[in-house]
Chains A and B, each alone.
Chain A
Amino acid sequence: MIRVVDLKKTYGSGAAAVTALAGVTLEIKTGEFVAVMGPSGSGKSTFLSLLGCLERPSGGAYYLDGRDVGSFDEEELAELRNRKFGFVFQSFNLLPRYDILRNVELPMIYAGLPRRERRERAAKLLEMVGLQHRLKHKPPELSGGEQQRVAIARALANDPQVVFADEPTGNLDTRSSHEIMGIFKEMHRSGRTIVLVTHEPDIARYAGRILYFRDGSLIREEAVEDEVH
């Protein structure tokens, strides 16, 4: 379970200081699927990267399963990102010089898994997202939808509890978007917590709850009645 209290993030200092997150308090239950919406610059990405421990907050507290994440050192944060979290980005962020098998292997390399085990698991994950016939291809040889599926397979490499996705369908057409969301739904069904940032109401309706941000604050939240299944 994720619980944040008065979570704040300020960039820069003095006159140039920008408040990206002005103090957010909320809870996300284990196994919940949450969407984050709001206008551009409202602090959605900042919120997500604080939850994902990609950077440290300027103020407030963050509890993960009751443990105070603020007290973790860099090593523990890296371990957390490696074992408990998975990330999916709008721009895929695959390494173009590696084939997709090796891209999916990366988190397992840092987890210290032996090579054979890594390869087997990576191949299985790629099969799950329907790319078993493209293992030796490099990312630039794939379509956007296919690349995002590789990124999802990579996010699941170490069987994370929580998957953070920042506009994963932002660069995709409608059809691919819904294919991708189908995979997210699948992940949710297998018990993972999902926090997803999106601009599109259609996409947000895959979640069970929507958080609305404005000017760095959580202004409203609503449960989704007609959740897409």
Chain B
Amino acid sequence: MRFTDLAQVVSENLLAHRLRAALTIIGITIGIAAVIAVVAIGQGGQAVIISQLESQGSSRYFEVTVDVMRGEAPTSDTFRLQDATLIKELSPAVERMAPLSYASMIDVRRPHSGGKPLLSQLYGTTPDLIYALNMKVEKGRFLSNIDVDAHARVAVLDAELAKELFPDTDPLGKQIFIQDVAATVIGVMQKPPSSILSMMNQTVYLPITFAQEILNSRVIFQLCGVAVSKEALPQAIEDSLKIIRKRHPASGVHYVGNSMEQQLSVVSKVTSVMTLIIGAIAGIALLVGGVGVMNIMLVAVTERTREIGLLMALGARRKDILQQFLFEAVALCLIGGALGVIIGAGGAVAVALLAHWPPLISFWTILLAFGFSACVGLFFGLYPASRAAALSPAEALRQL
């Protein structure tokens, strides 16, 4: 039997049972669409979370803190201002290091603005922070070492705060009051890429020395570092901890180091597992669709046993019969698979548009879905087909 004849016979048979074929195709379509949509949405979401985490800081970022898991909190003896500089000097693995003091609900306002004060976050730090958190300057400049050494009364605003305080004027060079202490705005930071994890809205950055004066506190919350390379991260953390412990033998707290890498890998592991679980559930839908195909093929074979007998009497070989039914099943699955890919991908794109994240439909997902539906067709078509081909023509002709 020629291939074109086989294709013609198969399409004729499917068209002869249009409704039945359509229902089978719908079963497969739903399964494939579910798998593709779930995987695409899962991967898109994962990519978004990871890219946002990455935009929060350099991939070489790490931090040294006290062990908050044990309920520890830093005191004024936990970190000293010189610690950061020293670690940077002593460890070849550490490229940047900035101490960070922090306060929230800080009253920030313009002079002569009698109204409601703006409540902002305050970061006291050194120039290196900009590298650790991947921040970019929009206007003016960030803090400098001279500012820090001189306890300069200068402030850098983030985009959000700048917009609130100076909706219609250029903030550069203007005076603001931070907890009633006057400071001059020297820079505005760029808005970070839209972020579901953004915690940095309305922030004012000050030289750490100036911040300590305003807050009247010497507490440094953590050290934010950048390693020379991703590979050097463990070394950088180890060096930092060693130096810190040596310098504060009596601090009574546990110092810990975390890298962005660790956090990323945890997040991506969690989201992958979630995608896998939901994908597996969608896979069950696909399996149900496959059983539907088998059911239809069984019915088709039983119903057409007499026809099969006739075809064999006319000279069809078992191979021809087997081929014909297998092709019918595979054709059903592939048509269902193609529709499923279109619908599933459409659904994933729609969700991505609504959620403002990039649609992530990988070539592999589609290949997998197609391969899987072809296998479902082969697998579930094989049994009825081999049953049909096993009969002798006389037996098959006697049916019904």
CB of A67 closer than 8 Å to a CB of B: no
How far does the alpha carbon of A178 sit from the alpha carbon of B315 in the complex, in Å? 29
* A95-B307 in contact (CB<8A): yes
* A87-B313 in contact (CB<8A): yes
Contact of A55 among B310, B311, B394 (CB under 8 A): B394
How far does the alpha carbon of A95 sit from the alpha carbon of B320 in the complex, in Å? 17
CB of A97 closer than 8 Å to a CB of B: yes
* A78-B317 in contact (CB<8A): yes
Q: In the assembled complex, which residues on chain B have CB atoms less than 8 Å from the CB atom of A55? A: 392-395
- Give residues 134-154 of A contacting B (CB, 8 Å): 154
CB of A219 closer than 8 Å to a CB of B: no
CB of B318 closer than 8 Å to a CB of A: yes
* B392-A54 in contact (CB<8A): yes
Contact of A54 among B5, B307, B313, B317 (CB under 8 A): B313
* A97-B315 in contact (CB<8A): no
* B315-A82 in contact (CB<8A): yes
- Give residues 30-45 of B contacting A (CB, 8 Å): none
How far does the alpha carbon of A161 sit from the alpha carbon of B307 in the complex, in Å? 24
Interface stretch, picked from A109-117, A181-189, A192-200, A205-213, is A109-117
How far does the alpha carbon of A55 sit from the alpha carbon of B314 in the complex, in Å? 14
- Supposing A54-B393, A54-B397, A97-B16 touch, asked if A79 and B315 sit within 8 A by C-beta, the answer is yes
CB of B164 closer than 8 Å to a CB of A: no
Q: In the assembled complex, which residues on chain B have CB atoms less than 8 Å from the CB atom of A158? A: 315
Closest to B9 in A: A109
Give 1 or 0 for each of B303-323: 1 = CB within 8 Å of chain A CB: 000110011111111111000
Q: In the assembled complex, which residues on chain B have CB atoms less than 8 Å from the CB atom of A106? A: 311, 314
* A112-B2 in contact (CB<8A): yes
How far does the alpha carbon of A74 sit from the alpha carbon of B315 in the complex, in Å? 11
How far does the alpha carbon of A49 sit from the alpha carbon of B320 in the complex, in Å? 21
Q: In the assembled complex, which residues on chain B have CB atoms less than 8 Å from the CB atom of A83? A: 315
Q: In the assembled complex, which residues on chain B have CB atoms less than 8 Å from the CB atom of A52? A: 313
Q: In the assembled complex, which residues on chain B have CB atoms less than 8 Å from the CB atom of A93? A: 306, 310, 313, 397
Q: In the assembled complex, which residues on chain A have CB atoms less than 8 Å from the CB atom of B393? A: 49, 54-55, 81
How far does the alpha carbon of A87 sit from the alpha carbon of B394 in the complex, in Å? 12
Count B interface residues, CB 8 Å: 25
Closest to A164 in B: B313
* A56-B392 in contact (CB<8A): yes
Contact of B314 among A97, A110, A112, A114 (CB under 8 A): A110
How far does the alpha carbon of A64 sit from the alpha carbon of B90 in the complex, in Å? 100
How far does the alpha carbon of A78 sit from the alpha carbon of B306 in the complex, in Å? 17
- Supposing A49-B394, A55-B395, A95-B307 touch, asked if A107 and B16 sit within 8 A by C-beta, the answer is no
Closest to B395 in A: A55
* A81-B313 in contact (CB<8A): yes
Which of A49, A111, A112, A154 has the most chain B CB atoms inside 10 A of its CB? A49
Closest to B389 in A: A74
* A75-B317 in contact (CB<8A): yes
- Supposing A78-B315, A79-B315 touch, asked if A110 and B310 sit within 8 A by C-beta, the answer is no
Given contacts A78-B316, A109-B2, 13 further A-B contacts (CB under 8 A): A49-B394, A52-B313, A54-B313, A54-B392, A54-B397, A74-B318, A81-B312, A93-B397, A106-B311, A109-B5, A110-B311, A115-B5, A158-B315
20 contacts between A and B (CB under 8 A): A54-B393, A54-B394, A54-B397, A55-B392, A55-B394, A56-B392, A74-B317, A75-B319, A78-B317, A81-B312, A81-B393, A82-B316, A93-B313, A93-B397, A106-B314, A107-B315, A110-B1, A110-B315, A112-B1, A112-B2
Listed in ascending order, the chain A residues whose CB lies under 8 Å from chain B are 49, 52, 54-56, 74-75, 78-79, 81-83, 87, 89, 93, 95, 97-98, 106-107, 109-112, 114-115, 154, 158
Closest 7 CB pairs between A and B? A82-B315, A55-B394, A54-B394, A78-B317, A54-B393, A110-B315, A49-B394
